[in-house]
A = this chain, B = another copy of it.
Amino acid sequence: MIDIARHAGVSKSTVSLVLQASPLVKAETRDKVNAAIEALGYVYNRGAANLRGSRSNIVGMVINDLANPFFAELAVGIERVFHAAGYIPFIANTIENAKRQSEVLRSMSEHDIAGLIICPARGTRPADIEALAQIGVPTVLAMRRLAGPKFSSVTPDNLRGARRATEHLIALGHRRIAFFGGYSDMIAQNDRCGGYQAALAAADIPFDRSLVIEGPPNRDCGLNAIGHVLDMAEPATAALCFNDVVAFGVLSGLERRGLAAGRDFALVGFDDVAEARHTNPPLTTVHVDTGALGERAAHQVLRMIHGDTRPEEFVSDVDLVVRASCGATSGREA
């Protein structure tokens, strides 16, 4: 910066003012400085600037599974809002690994992020997140709440969505309904699985614990789970999946056995990612307005950045969208 100053024949303070687009410098001087900046190919050092109090314009977005298209959709909503507000979101992937997550979080706080949206990895302790809040990083949880202290969060109505989906399967005549994916130590799984159990209870169907197959919320889990429940003495005839990606895995598993969802087995997902509409057969699933959820999370962070730190738990409404995989329609759906 001193080089710039020398090159433009001013002081480093003036250069600083130009960089901050201060109205205190004469247009003529500003042009001279900008010319020097251009000429010397100077890059601003944000780290040095942050040293003197100012917060950076990056916000962190920490997600647990980049391979799940759901998170891409969430990110799109988040980015829309932050970009309009002049913040640049940086995304990091934790692949559902708490250790990796804490490395990522440390790196982000070292770089002095202005805010954070996080889908906590399995095994995250509330204290891990609380530490962030302690040092003044506005944080909101997305998709997964955390037990204990009050954090801001945005989540879909997991319980209601799962309940409706299960009711739909029951209405179609199924009684052996499985639940695939997620772990019982994740709140989201509890909520969704809870909705599933509530629907069973309401229909006087006894809850069979062996029909709940836990596992990571990915394709492989669905692929394995379907084999499992099909090989039981009294096989399941339907399943609700923790999310669409798990359901995609089930689709593979069925195909591998020469079976088809909708015809031989009733399958319902959760999230309604864009791909769900085009699977074979199209997937019946619980629609979540993912983009809007992301926007909401971003707005919440923005609100906190601007000083309003009251936590807010936002729960978005969900809808069951019936396609062919549950066997309710003949496969035609716009």
Contact = CB atoms under 8 A, between A and B. Distances in A.
A155 to B, nearest CB: 21
Interface stretch (A20-28, A45-53, A177-185): A45-53
Nearest to A66: B72
A263 interface: no
Contacts of A282: 280
Given A67-B76, A252-B278, A275-B275, A45 B110 contact: yes
A107 B57 contact: yes
* Main SS at interface, chain A: helix
Contacts of A89: 92-93
A42 to B, nearest CB: 9
B58 A47 contact: no
A157 interface: no
Given A131-B41, A281-B280, A75 B79 contact: no
A200 to B, nearest CB: 29
A252 B275 CA distance: 11
Contacts of A69: 67, 69, 72, 275
Given A66-B79, A275-B275, A280-B280, 9 more contacts: A45-B50, A47-B47, A66-B76, A66-B91, A67-B69, A67-B274, A69-B72, A72-B72, A75-B93
For the complex of A and B, list the 5 residue pairs with the smallest distance between their C-beta atoms, beginning with the closest: A47-B47, A280-B280, A46-B110, A91-B91, A90-B90
Interface of A: 41, 43-48, 50-51, 56-58, 66-67, 69, 72-73, 75-76, 79, 83, 88-93, 95, 100, 103-104, 106-107, 109-112, 131, 134-135, 219, 248, 251-252, 255-256, 274-275, 277-282, 334
